[in-house]
Structure 1
Amino acid sequence: MRLTPGSGAAGRRGSKNNRTRSGWGVRVLAALLPICPAALLACARIEPPPGGPPDAEPPRLIATRPDSFVRLTPFRGVAEFQFDEVVSEGGTPNRGEGTGGLERLVILSPSSRVPEVRWRRNRITVRPQEGWRPNRIYRVELLPGVSDLRTNQSEQGAVLTFSTGPARPQTTLEGQVMDWSTSRPVPRALVVASLLPDSLPYRGVADSSGRFSLGPLPQGDYIVNGVLDQNNDHRQDSREAFGTARVARGKSAVGELWAFVHDTTAPRIQTVTVDDSTKATVAFAQKLDPRQRLSARDVRLRLLPDSTPVAVASILPQPVDDSIHGRPTAAEDSTAEDSTAVDTSRAGRRIVPAARQQPADEAKPSRPPLNDRLVLRVPKPWAPGSRLALEIRGVKNVTGVAGNAVGVVAVPEKPKVDPRDSLKTGLDTLKRRQPGDSARPATPRRALPDSLKKKR
């Protein structure tokens, strides 16, 4: 006799158990329905259908933990930023080296080390490598740039401030970072405020116009640096240009931070170029102090090979020399004098171009621009093909380090002629002509052939 599954006593017992379990499940659902209908409906949440319109909205920050300005003693957790959707891990992994995609978006203060930044789907957690220290005011800044899986990038940042002991901070430092070499504001400049006397560094980033508002910070005296963060690692490197200011306790105005490269060695001559018969431009490897004025006594010029002294007329920064000797500016170069700028009908009078009007909203820099060139002038023309030893004593760089700079002036066989001299010669020629003179010589008349003479 062939037995099929479910037949016999064992089959009857299995069917009975199944009916018992199914009946029990029905009774449980019937009991939960009047008590908590939301728990049953949660399993049927409606999702957007696949193939719909793409999501073009960037991730939105919905929560931060711990709460801002809360006091936690002690604190052993993590600082957390939570978004309304899954965010991207970034293009490079976060290994604690400061080069990760998310590590570049987080600034933790006060700490000089790269924090531990972790990706948790829709959350970003931050923790210092050395752990949270007691009696500190911590500031965690999330910069704009967090993107979702569809590369929609957020343009909003966030700052989380909390305490592990001290009272709520009240100080906010405000100012602007300027690039002294260009006299322009520095967008996205790094700002480092070191609290004295422990030099605890609080860091932040300026906006697109170089302005910053760093706070709230604990009260005290600060050394504030505005840094041109060239490698974008949110840390001040030794060769990066920076400007500094000291802010006393209770003050908030930092003012303008003029950033420049702080060299610790004296300036040295890089090149010497002979520009015309009495002028040479000396280029240095560093920016010079714009307030220093050297005199002819500070220059020693000797003709080689017998070291015959050569007189010096002046040694001036290039912008000052240009203003004294009337070198045209960039705006005047576009309307430079030529043959069309001379009015021959008015006895050599020339048309003077109108001065460029400065826009009303263009702010003048509060400091003179930096320069790395000096102009050397001599009273007598250079000897063609000569070589001269040059020494400038006491020249200072912008940091204030002074020294003697040496170089060689190599005069070519045919020194360059100042273009203004050739222009002046052309104007003098036009002035010597009489108003009645023709601009062209008279063309001789051709003799008529004999055949035409007979017809006449």
Structure 2
Amino acid sequence: MLISILVALLLGCAKVGPPTGGPVDKEPPRILSHYPESDALEVARDTEVEIVFSEPMNREQTEAALFTSPVGPLQLSWHGPRLRIAMPLAEERTYVLTVGTGARDLRGNALTKSFTLAFATGLQLDQGLVQGRVYQDHQPVAGAHVWAYDLGTFSGEVGLDEPSYQTQSGADGGYEFVRLAPGHYRVLAFRDANRNALPDADEWLGLPSASVEVGEEEVMAGDLALARQQISAPVLKRVQAIHAGRLMLLFAEAVEPQDLELEVFGLSVESLYAAPDAAEKIYVETATQEPDQRYALQLVFAGAPVQWDALVRGSARSDRKPPSFVGLMRNRL
């Protein structure tokens, strides 16, 4: 009798792997602390930068959203939600490190605003500040890449070569570059649909004709309106029901969930998010599906229709995995 009770308790406490079947985590991650302090002076040249997030992060996406100026090699190491960054530091220089809104937690939730940390190895910091917003079709754009070129030192081609400073727009479309050296800057913005960190010909791009002059005071760069270039929709390879409340869309390449508009006829769509370890997989939380019911889909990517004619069959499967047997604990009395 005692053994039976223990088995029941163990099975009740057995850990069930993800997904848990509970509410979808939509809480954005935050940065709890960092080192050095903001605007620190006389930072030792062997200092390692440390950033502590409020929860474990998707390391690949977070590292891709990490930008430094001046640009240089980075050595990154993770310990849970703690990120350590080793970078070469020169004498008498201002350094700006940005964690963009492309940084995401393990459920795909992004930072609501880019985080910028500035410090100097000398006795003073550069004071330049440029602010603005990114729009598309009169709506603010979150997660757009924003580049700034220092035209006094840059000799390459704007939009093709690596910029002097990088950041990403926040949830309200806003962006800012802080601690810029005095000079003339060219600013551009783009939506990186294919995640290669470059403004490709088939992506949305905002490139003003004039540069901005940066001095000791704040400069408003104005709105960066993204213009539609040639848009090609990604190839959808497979659609399947994972369980009665979730669909999976498998694309041929990585896609951003916010670029997708999905309608499932006869079934309400509650949310979309990318798989933490495979951005080409998009999960769709739905209302409860009717078993064996055939559903038609209509999908649009950044305004371009995605070709898909096959019907997806509803699932009767529960979203909870059964508990696994972990063994017996015998009474030693």
Q: When the two structures are superposed, what TM-score results if normalisation uses the length of structure 2?
A: 0.48
Q: Which structure is larger by alpha-carbon Rg, 1 or 2?
A: 1
Answer 1 or 2: which has greater helix percent.
1
Q: When the two structures are superposed, what TM-score results if normalisation uses the length of structure 1?
A: 0.36
Answer 1 or 2: which has greater strand percent.
2
